[in-house]
Structure 1
Amino acid sequence: MTAISRNRLCLAAFAVVLLVCCFLLLSRRHGGSRHLVAGLFNRRWLSSANVDTDPDDLDWPPRPPPDLMQGGSALVLVHIQKTGGSSLNRQFVRAGVRGLPCRCRRGRKRCLCLNSADTDWLFSRGSVGWRCGLHASLAALQACVPNWHRFRPGVRLHYMTVLRRPVDRFFSEWRHVRRGATWQAARRFCDGKPMDPQPELCYRGDDWHGVGLAEFAGCATNPAINRQSRMLANLTGRECLGGEEMLAGALANLRRMIFVGLTEYQVLNQYQLTRGLGLLFNRLFWQHDETVASQLNTSRADLAIAESATSLDARLYAAAERLFFHRTRRLLIGDAIAARADPGLAAAIAGLDTAGLRAVAPRMAAAAGVVLRRLGARGVSAAERRRVRQKVKRKLIQSQ
């Protein structure tokens, strides 16, 4: 063997030893080689193609994806009316996500949410305001957001939303309008631009104060009818007219979203964001079920009216529920902290369909809550709970 060959062999051996030492050092910091591999998996940005991948172990402190922290990606919230989007906004920008800061000023509704590259990591009402219009639909956001001046060229935009049981959401919007509130500034989109002219309003004057449920649901141009499907549709061609085409577009877009939460499962929403996307919130999400809709004494006739007005949304929600529980189950089955909190959970949920998972959702939420608290999320104070309950009572009085 020549001297040159011996030198090359020595250099190769040295490189191997160095790599092994580095791996062992990192492995020690992350709690073992298995945890290191799992940690590397989690810190990848989870696109719609791999969001359901089942990691072998999830017992590590989650961190935001580097791509999100460095300006290569951004989250965009499709904020549908009366689904709890304002609460999610507050969790992002006020309570905070570790590693992704937002600077908030007292008395200001918007917070500055910049990453290490000084670009926005979050595009939502809480961070930039209604830059694309009041409660902009997915179609409106897709036409507008890429032009945002605080994004890098070629930024990857990941859309997310929260859906609510359609009848409850419809009742909540009806009560909102009944007490005199409106979203008159919200524009309806078609083929990538605002409709011209906009659909005729269902009322004359400044608002629709005191409207009854039958009148509210009976106006054909009322945007509350199947609102969730319309907000997530492409709104091109025949989709603009509503119906099956609109629903098909919404269903396709739903499956492509990086996160689809459900208002009724706040703890599991947070768990998906934390374990699936590496977003560790400082505070626990609160499941507040004492909403305006839950306090209504609805008759069978009222329920039938609301169901008729939300028939497409009901099918959209059913699809969202299947997707939601499928993703949650895959994460829980691989979570070592959840396994220690509830040793029989993984086996109990492994073969369940959507109805079965819905039935054991409280058990899943209990295990997820243990995980989130173990990772450092703080609970909601009693004062905050009282404040929200008082707000609901005021709204009920105003909508009588």
Structure 2
Amino acid sequence: MRVCWRWKDSTYKYREQSAVRNGASAWRGSRAPRNFYYITILRDPVSRYLSEWRHVQRGATWKASLHVCDGRSPTTEELPSCYTGDDWSGCSLKEFMDCLYNLANNRQVRMLSDLSLVGCYNLSVMPEEQRNKVLLDSAKENLKRMAFFGLTEFQRKTQYLFEKTFNMNFISPFTQYNSTRASSVEIDEQTQKRIEALNFLDMELYDYAKDLFLQRYQYMRQKEHQEARRKRQEQRKILKAKQAHNKEQSDNTSTTDYIGNVEHWR
């Protein structure tokens, strides 16, 4: 098994999937084929947005990202830059939120959806409301089809699901860190609501993901309990059979001894 954990949007990811499989088969030669799984970890949209802002504020960029869709990268008209110069270091949260072309907005939906369904980065292909619905539906469908996904806010449950899904165990348990760079940012209610509005698609996706995640977790727990109960029942059956066998042996021995004594008394 090979798990592909990558920061690429689904548009590019699914286009390269067949190439990954074919290329892997080539260098493996005659060895048995392996399964490839794409997985992802989602995060509370507000926390994720603040974390990305802090990351950009420190000088991080995504200049190396090609944003390839339908075989080409977007033009500068389709995807204008939010800043001039080498990076956006030192930008304020207000500046970050004010950029209409900021890819931090609804990033999780964009990363999980197939952008080719909406004309990639060309916003004139369809009305905005229709575009948003198509992107959200695509992201939900792709997430549902993944063998595994986790949630940052549920580290232990994420570990449990991963281990049960792929039948492997981590060396040490996951730790839930509630103190992060994003949590250290204090924002007022108005800013909170604005971030939620900028990421309204991510907010809806996260609610969907959380519900699906907890369903999968509950299913795995029930399956584990059923398996444990089945093993206990099998063990009890084996124990009863062993006890019955021992009793039968004991009865046969007693009968044999009795017959032997009768013969002796004669």
Task: Give the TM-score normalised by the residue count of structure 1.
Answer: 0.49
Take 1:155 and 1:200, find their aligned partners in 2: how far apart are those partners?
A: 41
Take 1:258 and 1:267, find their aligned partners in 2: how far apart are those partners?
A: 18
1:31-110 alignment, distance < 5 Å: 68=1, 74-78=2-6
Equivalence for 2:73: 194
Take 2:228 and 2:190, find their aligned partners in 1: how far apart are those partners?
A: 46
Q: Please tell me the residue identity of whatever aligns with 2:134.
A: E
Matched, 1:209 2:98: no
Task: Flag structure 2 segments of 5+ consecutive residues without an equivalent.
Answer: 27-32, 124-130, 230-266
Q: Quick one: percent identity of the two aligned structures?
A: 35
Take 2:214 and 2:104, find their aligned partners in 1: how far apart are those partners?
A: 26
CA deviation map 1:157-199 (0-9, x unaligned): 3221000000110011111111222222122232354334561
Take 1:223 and 1:338, find their aligned partners in 2: how far apart are those partners?
A: 45
Shift of 1:138: 1.9
CA contact (8 A) 1:179 1:209 kept: yes
CA contact (8 A) 1:233 1:239 kept: no
Select the residue among 224, 228, 237 that pairs with 1:335. 224
- Number of aligned residue pairs: give it: 212
Matched, 1:273 2:201: no
CA deviation map 1:366-392 (0-9, x unaligned): xxxxxxxxxxxxxxxxxxxxxxxxxxx
Equivalence for 2:25: 152
Take 2:68 and 2:152, find their aligned partners in 1: how far apart are those partners?
A: 25
Equivalence for 2:242: none
Q: Please tell me the residue identity of whatever aligns with 1:324.
A: F
Take 1:294 and 1:187, find their aligned partners in 2: how far apart are those partners?
A: 31
Take 2:226 and 2:134, find their aligned partners in 1: how far apart are those partners?
A: 43
Equivalence for 1:304: 193
CA contact (8 A) 2:147 2:165 kept: no
Take 2:119 and 2:147, find their aligned partners in 1: how far apart are those partners?
A: 23
Select the residue among 243, 249, 266 that pairs with 2:132. 243
Higher RCO (CA-CA < 8 Å; seq separation 6+): 2
Equivalence for 1:167: 46
Equivalence for 2:61: 182
Shift of 1:334: 2.9
Secondary structure, aligned partner of 2:210:
helix
Q: Please tell me the residue identity of whatever aligns with 1:147.
A: A
Shift of 1:75: 2.2
Take 2:62 and 2:169, find their aligned partners in 1: how far apart are those partners?
A: 33
Are residues 293 and 175 of structure 1, via their aligned partners in 2, closer, same or farther at CA, if it must alter by over 3 Å? Answer: same
CA contact (8 A) 2:117 2:134 kept: no
Are residues 157 and 193 of structure 1, via their aligned partners in 2, closer, same or farther at CA, if it must alter by over 3 Å? Answer: farther
Equivalence for 2:182: 293
Q: Which has the larger radius of gyration?
A: 2
Q: Please tell me the residue identity of whatever aligns with 1:212.
A: S
1:368-387 alignment, distance < 5 Å: none
CA-based RMSD of the aligned residues comes to 2.4
Equivalence for 1:225: 105
Shift of 1:282: 1.5
Equivalence for 1:315: 204
Secondary structure, aligned partner of 2:82:
coil
Q: Please tell me the residue identity of whatever aligns with 1:75.
A: V
Shift of 1:146: 3.0
Q: Please tell me the residue identity of whatever aligns with 2:24.
A: F
CA contact (8 A) 1:225 1:310 kept: yes
Task: Give the TM-score normalised by the residue count of structure 2.
Answer: 0.72
Take 2:175 and 2:3, find their aligned partners in 1: how far apart are those partners?
A: 22
